[in-house]
Amino acid sequence: MSPPALLLRGARLLDPTLSHDGRADVLVRDGRIDRVEGSIEPRAGVHVIDLSGFLLTPGLIDIHVHLREPGQEAKETIATGTRAAAAGGFVAVCAMPNTDPVIDTPEMVRLVIERAAAAGPVRVHPIAAATVGSRGERPTHVDALAGAGAVAVSDDGRPISDEALGPVLERARAAGIPVANHCEALDLSAGGAILSGGLAKRLGVSGIPREAESDAVARDLAILARTGGRLHVCHVSTARSVELIREGKAAGLAVTAEVAPHHLALTVDEVERSGALAKMNPPLAGSEDREALRAALADGTLDCVATDHAPHTEAEKARGLGQAPFGVVGLETAFAVLYSTLVERGVLPLTTLVRRLGADAARALGLEAPVVRVGARADLAAFDLETEWTVDPARFRSLGRNTPFAGWRLRGRPVMTVAGGTVAYDGRAPEER
């Protein structure tokens, strides 16, 4: 049974892929975009959705989230995580395999896809483990994992070992999917909680030097140059890593990279205010790193934004800076944080932000890019760029409340998400904020 036809009326439609920016109505029928015109009259039987005053874009895609199911359902489930995605304007997410058990077999890949299909209209593309149990030793059967629906392989949460990365890249190349690597030299980062430096010393916690990331990026690029295949660098956080990726691209390597909203918006100083709620891996870095990340996102050296949405329970995050687990949630704040900190301040054009959160993210992992074109899948998101709102984690759809953005006053609140022709989120009339 197909959902009712939808008429999205009155919005400013911005589609970077089509270089379209202007008022347009969009008619959605049978999961597809049926018409896109300046003005479409409503017909009987069509559900009219008034989006006057809002921005309408292709649906956003987040290629790096942790849904925690199976095994860690106190942190998040596929159902709550996909609802959080919808509330953030996302129509599809790529789920990392570091669940319990790890997603390292075709059966597990299919399980995630089936549970997501039952949960709602937001699509989940599993990323399977690169090595068995993500233990960094024996490569998984990448061809079988890709055949079951995995869009990439990764041991995210940990790096793929030096020994395994070459064979994994070769297997992934044969299977036609990229390797998404969490670049971290564990010998340099061991025991660290936040970026090395004055603040770590003052707070009495061990530091993580920038080289823990950039040395690993350099090593990975050298292996990529030898073996071929496609490497996607997860959550780039330092200026030196950006430089290495820029050089790798210039040398013709098949490398893509993502950056997380928290690394674009914050620096290590945030730890002073937010404590363990600003603890993530890789850690928040310095302002010169943040400037380099912003410039690299603008010029495309960093291909896209991905949230690294990493929900944890309140009890876990209450263990203090040294003991709390790494990670912050991001699905429900990503667009507004980036709109308010980058677009409103003139750092990044709005059209570039929409592209980096949509079409460019899709392309990095070889997914179909969302586009508001007749015949395309009806994946759309709408945002309120005018009204200020306050981030209140108590209202999150995610089970995770671990965000450093609580209390922030932002513009760019997601108000409507349509995934595959179905309304996945409608927040046009929020309760009193």
Footprint on this chain of Zn ion (rule: CB under 5 A)? 156, 182
8-state DSSP, 133: G
Q: How many CB atoms are closer than 10 A to CB 201?
A: 11
Helix residue spans in 155-275 (DSSP H): 162-175, 186-189, 198-203, 211-227, 239-250, 261-265, 270-274
Minimum CB separation of residue 234 from Zn ion in Å reads: 5
Residue among 66 and 413 whose Cβ is closer to Zn ion: 66
Alpha helices in 228-343 (DSSP H): 239-250, 261-265, 270-274, 287-299, 314-317, 334-338
Q: Give least dist CB 290 to Zn ion, A.
A: 18
Alpha-carbon span 62 to 69, nearest angstrom: 17
Rounded Cα gap, residues 225 and 276, in angstroms: 38
CA distance 76 to 78: 7
Give the residue with the Cβ less far from Zn ion, 156 or 215: 156
What the block records as the tokens of 363 is: 């392309």
The tokens for 379 are 């994946």
Minimal distance, residue 159 CB to Zn ion, in Å: 9
Residue nearest to Zn ion (CB): 182
The runs of H, that is alpha helices, within 266-382 are 270-274, 287-299, 314-317, 334-338, 350-356, 359-364
Catalytic residue of the set 15, 289, 308, 384: 308
Q: Which residue pairs, CB below 8 angstroms and at least 24 apart, start in 19-22?
A: 20/372, 21/351
**Minimum gap (Å) between residue 84 Cβ and Zn ion:** 19
CA atoms of 123 and 414, how far apart (whole Å): 18
Nearer to Zn ion, 276 or 416 (CB): 276
Structure tokens at 265: 């918006």
Nearer to Zn ion by Cβ, of 182 and 312: the residue is: 182
- Annotated catalytic, 308? yes
Of 76, 85, 82, nearest to 333 by C-alpha is 85
Q: CA–CA separation, 398 vs 67, rounded Å?
A: 10
Query: Which residues, listed in sequence order, are joined to residue 304 by a DSSP beta bridge?
Result: 258
Smallest distance from Zn ion to CB 68, Å: 14
Rounded to the nearest whole angstrom, what is the least distance from the CB of residue 156 to Zn ion in the complex?
Answer: 4
Tokens of 224: 């990529």
Q: Measured between alpha carbons, how far is residue 133 from residues 98, 103, 138, 140, 169 in Å?
A: 9, 8, 9, 9, 17
Q: Whole-number minimum distance, CB 97 to Zn ion, in Å?
A: 12
Cα(202)–Cα(208) distance, integer angstroms? 14
Compare residues 327 and 421 and give the one whose CB is closer to Zn ion: 327
Pairing of strands 55-58, 6-15: parallel
Residue whose C-alpha is closest to residue 127's, from 93, 158, 100: 93
Tell me whether residue 63 or residue 336 sits nearer to Zn ion (CB atom).
63
State the amino acid at position 416 in one-letter form.
M
Instruction: For the CB of residue 291, give the shortest distance to Zn ion in the complex, in Å.
Output: 22
Please identify, using beta-carbon distances, which residue of 36 and 236 lies nearer to Zn ion.
Answer: 236
Name the residue nearer to Zn ion (CB basis): 109 or 260.
Answer: 260
Separation CA 16–CA 331 (nearest Å): 21
User: Which residues carry out catalysis?
Assistant: 308
